């Protein structure tokens, strides 16, 4: 374990040096990511302000910002570890996956450790922290030890849930020539709507956000644990506590699928 941590540190050090070789460019690119994602939040705030909208299904603008803060902050950490799986189909198609197989280290460990999108991590992470700080200053949340421990465990669980989806979609690349479209439909499209309260969507979308690509457990149910808005009565109470457990279970299942799927890999050569 000590050796693995040391190697991960060396991988990360080299990766950071390559990403931040030109510091001004790195700063501007991270800022561009921050502004790109912040534009959507600003648009929502302007709509609420312009049309004097008091809320959506009893969720006010500050509570919506709180929901979004979970998405951005968890993704900021997620992309540090799972960048290598983001466009994994290309790695399989061009044969560069072979180099991971030839090294005396776990394949998944190498993929995770050898790449990280630091620009996206800083942009998303900073935005998530800003939104979280702003929202918690405007809404009433009781910060006792139990809530803090829950928030920490839910944060880790939310990262594992999204990481499991990344790993699952990457594993599909061993079966299909191009699986990025599946990733786009089930991850990015559903993530884009997950910033709104789950209860406002039709039942089919609610089921998809809970049971297919479970973003509801990334932000909605952890937020509801702290806020307890009225629409939580539509869902079982146990869902408020499932994020940490679901994260571990989903990641374990995705890893098992990864190990099975890897056996189908056939080198494409050069």
Q: Give the Cα separation of 91 and 87 in Å (integer).
A: 7
Q: Domain for residue 249, yes or no?
A: yes
Check residue 206 and give its pLDDT: 95
Per-residue model confidence as pLDDT tens digits over 174-205: 888 666 667 777 788 889 899 899 999 999 99
User: What whole-number percentage of the chain has pLDDT above 90?
Assistant: 47
Does residue 147 register a pLDDT over 90? yes
Per-residue b/e over 236-250, b at no fewer than 16 CB within 10 Å?
Answer: eeebbebbbebbeeb
Does residue 48 register a pLDDT over 80? no
Q: Domain for residue 78, yes or no?
A: yes
Q: Domain for residue 269, yes or no?
A: no
Q: Domain for residue 18, yes or no?
A: yes
- Count the domains in the chain: 1
Q: Domain for residue 270, yes or no?
A: no
Q: Tell me the β-bridge partners of 211.
A: none
Check residue 225 and give its pLDDT: 95
List Cα–Cα distances, 52 to 44, 49, 56, 71, 241, in angstroms.
12, 5, 12, 26, 35
Check residue 26 and give its pLDDT: 75
Print the domain residue range for 97: 2-262
Q: Domain for residue 222, yes or no?
A: yes
Q: Domain for residue 170, yes or no?
A: yes
Q: Domain for residue 268, yes or no?
A: no
Check residue 246 and give its pLDDT: 97
List Cα–Cα distances, 36 to 63, 95, 128, 212, in angstroms.
21, 33, 13, 27
Check residue 19 and give its pLDDT: 67
Per-residue model confidence as pLDDT tens digits over 100-130: 888 778 889 888 888 888 888 999 999 999 9
Does residue 155 register a pLDDT over 80? yes
């Amino acid at each position: 374990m000590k050796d693995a941590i040391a190697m991960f540190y060396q991988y990360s050090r080299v990766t950071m040096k390559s990403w931040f070789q030109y510091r001004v460019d790195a700063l501007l690119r991270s800022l561009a990511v921050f502004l790109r994602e912040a534009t959507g939040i600003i648009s929502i705030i302007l709509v609420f302000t312009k049309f004097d909208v008091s809320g959506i299904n009893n969720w006010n603008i500050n509570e919506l910002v709180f929901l979004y803060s979970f998405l951005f902050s968890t993704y900021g950490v997620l992309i540090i570890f799972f960048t290598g799986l983001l466009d994994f189909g290309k790695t399989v198609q061009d044969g560069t996956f072979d180099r991971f197989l030839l090294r005396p280290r776990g394949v998944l460990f190498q993929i995770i450790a050898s790449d990280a999108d630091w620009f996206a991590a800083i942009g998303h992470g900073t935005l998530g922290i800003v939104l979280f700080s702003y929202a918690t200053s405007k809404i009433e949340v009781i910060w006792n030890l139990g809530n803090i421990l829950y928030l920490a465990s839910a944060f880790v669980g939310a990262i594992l849930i999204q990481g499991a989806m990344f790993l699952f979609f990457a594993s599909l690349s061993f079966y299909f020539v191009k699986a990025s479209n599946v990733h786009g439909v089930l991850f990015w499209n559903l993530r884009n709507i997950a910033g709104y309260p789950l209860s406002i969507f039709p039942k089919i979308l609610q089921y998809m956000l809970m049971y297919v690509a479970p973003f509801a457990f990334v932000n909605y149910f952890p937020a509801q644990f702290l806020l307890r808005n009225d629409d939580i009565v539509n869902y079982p109470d146990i869902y408020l506590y499932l994020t940490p457990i679901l994260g571990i279970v989903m990641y374990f299942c995705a890893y098992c699928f990864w190990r099975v799927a890897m056996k189908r890999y056939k080198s494409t050569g050069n």
